[in-house]
Copies of this chain bind each other. A is one copy, B any other.
Amino acid sequence: MNLKVREELKAKKQAYVQEEILTAAATLFAETGIRAVTIDDIAKSLGYTKSVVYYYFKNKNQVLWEIFQRIHEAWWQDMVAIIETDLPADELLGAMIRKHALNVMGRAAWTAIYFRDQGELTDDQQKIIVKRKREYDQLFKNAYVKGVEAGIFRDIPTYLIVSSIIGMCNFTHAWFKPKGQLSPNDIANHYVEIILNGCKA
């Protein structure tokens, strides 16, 4: 095995372990609250010693911060990809709602943390997340305004629309089960229909 291949394998393994640690941490954080969880708890839940976790993360705050960063980045990229398709306003907003709902159902624990535990970050981190959440919300507001201007949607304060969409979709994290009666797609489509009909001009 040459050096390059070996280094690639090492990087892959490290990325895998990092993701594994974050996922385990997110589950514990969501279940018992961040303050009650130690680096040792995270390590133990994976059968590791805590030195493994410390190899990847300086401390619990860095674990939490990485969870916030990754979830924001993934959601942001998904939305930007949808917006670039340049759909008419109702289809655009519909596609954004669907994707947000699917993202929430795909990562319930991460979502719970992202919307609940911002106060556990440092002041500087909180400022960044508040800004990013505002930018994310703005994407939905823009889509809605586009629909109001096109005469498709009623003229309602856009922050109420965004809050309705986010609130509705996020609450699935409290009850959604992957093997439930309806598929994530079915659920997402019902939400799209309720909001689009609910806002129709």
With the chains together, A119 CA to B29 CA distance in Å? 13
Residues of the B chain whose Cβ atoms lie less than 8 Å from the Cβ of A3: none
With the chains together, A119 CA to B112 CA distance in Å? 14
Residues of the B chain whose Cβ atoms lie less than 8 Å from the Cβ of A181: 157
Most buried by B among A157, A160, A200: A160
- B-contact 0/1 string along A159-201, CB 8 Å cutoff: 1100110111111101100000110000100110111111110
Residues of the B chain whose Cβ atoms lie less than 8 Å from the Cβ of A33: 33-36
Q: How many copies does the complex hold?
A: 2
User: CB distance A157 to B175 under 8 Å?
Assistant: no
User: CB distance B182 to A164 under 8 Å?
Assistant: no
Residue A75 lies at the interface, judged by CB distance under 8 Å to chain B = no
Residue A32 lies at the interface, judged by CB distance under 8 Å to chain B = yes
User: CB distance A182 to B168 under 8 Å?
Assistant: no
In the complex, which range does the number of interface residues on chain A fall in? 35 or more
Residue A156 lies at the interface, judged by CB distance under 8 Å to chain B = yes
A130 to chain B, nearest CB (A): 11
User: CB distance B164 to A168 under 8 Å?
Assistant: yes
Residues of the B chain whose Cβ atoms lie less than 8 Å from the Cβ of A182: 157, 160
Cβ-closest chain B residue relative to A167 = B171
In chain A, positions 19-39 with a C-beta closer than 8 Å to chain B are 31-36
With the chains together, A4 CA to B194 CA distance in Å? 57
Residue A115 lies at the interface, judged by CB distance under 8 Å to chain B = yes
Residue A116 lies at the interface, judged by CB distance under 8 Å to chain B = yes
A174 to chain B, nearest CB (A): 7
Top-7 shortest CB links A-B: A167-B171, A198-B198, A194-B198, A33-B33, A35-B36, A167-B168, A197-B198
Residues of chain A having any CB pair with chain B under 8 Å: 31-36, 115-116, 119, 156-157, 159-160, 163-164, 166-172, 174-175, 181-182, 187, 190-191, 193-200
